[in-house]
Amino acid sequence: MDKRRILRALKESGTCALLTGDEIRLYLLLLAASRENGQGVIPRSVIRETLGTNHPPIRLTLACMRLEQLGLIEFDHRHTRSGNELRYQVHEPLNTGIK
């Protein structure tokens, strides 16, 4: 998985324009933490440290939902709800037509 190509596609597809600051930071964090096959596991504590300790949990939930809705990340919900970590698969942005 070429992470630089994915970042370039994020910008060129227009998807970046659809994301909030929280969503962009979360996507970049998950992309950076993913393995070569795009799969990743990240502790919630790392996400909290990255987004800030005053970051309300609902904002993380909304950012995760939005990234899934846009097809950027697919979360493994069997492990996500109860665990202290997020398991996920990174997907390349689709062209939205927005530049």
Quote the pLDDT of residue 51. Answer: 81
CA triplet 56, 13, 91: central angle to 5 degrees? 60
Q: What are 2-36's pLDDT values in tens digits?
A: 899 999 998 888 888 899 988 999 999 999 999 99
pLDDT band of residue 61 (cuts 50, 70, 90) is: confident
User: What is the Cα–Cα distance from 98 to 95, expressed in whole angstroms?
Assistant: 8
Query: What is the pLDDT at residue 81?
Result: 55
**Total-model pTM:** 0.85
* Predicted pLDDT of residue 82: 57
